[in-house]
Amino acid sequence: MSETLSRARPRAVLWGNLQWHPAAEAWAAFAADEVTATPEIIEVLRKGKKSATYRLVGAGPSGESIIAQRSQPARASIERTVHEDILPHVPVPAPRYYGSWTESGSEEFVWIFVEDMGDDRFAAMDPVHLTLAGRWVGALHVAAAEIPAARRLPDGGPGRYLRHLHSGRDTLRRNLKNPALDPDGIALLDQVVASLDTIERAWSRFENACNAFPRTLVHGDIQRKNIHVRSGATGPELCLIDWETAGWGLPAVDLPKLDLTAYHSVVGAVWPHVRLDDVHRVAAVGTALQQVAGIDWVSPELGDERPLCVVRPLSWLRVYHGRLIHALHELGDLT
């Protein structure tokens, strides 16, 4: 395994008698007919108002650890479609899927149970990992394009990001009068709005660039925290997790973190009309679209009228805008 491997750590660790914990209760109810254990350790991997992820250490039928994801039904439906109807038919490594369970007494949350893939994550500077990721995503895109179930997923192509553009820009404009913003902050919001205007004027050219690819399954959130690497029988083995943002569309946003030559070596063999230059160009479009989504996600935080509370979103907005400007520079002929 590479020395540059990144390792994720839980946000919190719970010990002792954990039968009371919602994740342990959900797993016990789901696996009632199997011999399973109550976890003595539960690691909190992610926790928010709308979703949470836990590791149930040693709770599986053979003593393995289980990942329990709690999310709202719409997002859980996407995860279920991917795990039940798509990944079993794609020639790539994937975590074992145990199943799903609707939270007792509530239809607001659904639990998804999958194999624990460990803590080792993708290292962006490791060429082995980059190549693995390129080939894995290439195989996914090629195979999923022919799987009917993938077409049931929400829009995952450029249209999703045009909605992000409109939403984020509207929110930024509303917050321009926030008294917590100093002149530099207001100037930044103006600059970001201007960049989003530029992208919207060129939107048809962005879409045309993406049309070099067939439509397929799009993961939508390929970043380090969602890419596991573990030791396999023949060497390092990579797989993606967390499919809540998956969709059906043109796969630009899945490309920026990959070895694009390795990706093209897979997709080019099946889609001969897709050239390596097309892959690089669409990856640059994907980088721009990712920043547009990031701007939309962070912009609501700029409505807080306490100066200290706008420091974080302004910092992220500068990062997203800087990356966006760099991507637009690469795509100069499109804008």
pLDDT in tens, 2-43: 334 444 566 677 787 888 888 999 998 888 767 567 788 899
The pLDDT value recorded for residue 33 is 67
pLDDT tier at 306, thresholds 50, 70, 90: very high
pLDDT band at 199 (very low <50, low <70, confident <90, very high): very high
Percent of the chain topping pLDDT 90: 69
203-210 and 158-175 are packed helices; what angle lies between their axes, rounded to 10 degrees?
150
On the question of pLDDT at 318 being above 90, the answer is yes
Domains and CATH numbers, the chain: 6-120 (3.30.200.20), 127-334 (3.90.1200.10)
Radius of gyration for the chain, computed over Cα atoms and rounded to the nearest angstrom: 21
Higher-pLDDT residue of 257 and 2 is 257
State the residue for tokens 């045009």.
Answer: 162
Higher model confidence: residue 19 or residue 156? 156
Give how far Cα 208 sits from Cα of 108, 158, 220, 275, Å.
39, 10, 19, 15
- The answer to whether residue 125 scores a pLDDT higher than 90 is no
Is 142 in contact with 271 (CB distance < 8 Å)? yes
Where is pLDDT greater, at 37 or 48? 48
Q: Where are the beta strands (DSSP E) in 145-268?
A: 216-218, 227-232, 235-240, 247-249
Burial zone of 335 (CB within 10 Å; 0-12 exposed, 13-18 middle, 19+ buried): middle
- Please state the rounded mean pLDDT for residues 225-235: 81
Phi, psi of 160 (to 5 degrees): -60, -40
What mean pLDDT is reported for the chain? 90
Say whether 157 sits in a helix, a strand or coil. Answer: coil
Count the Cβ atoms, other than its own, within 10 Å of residue 210: 22
Distance, in Å, from the CA atom of 252 to the CA atom of 279, rounded to the nearest integer, reads 9
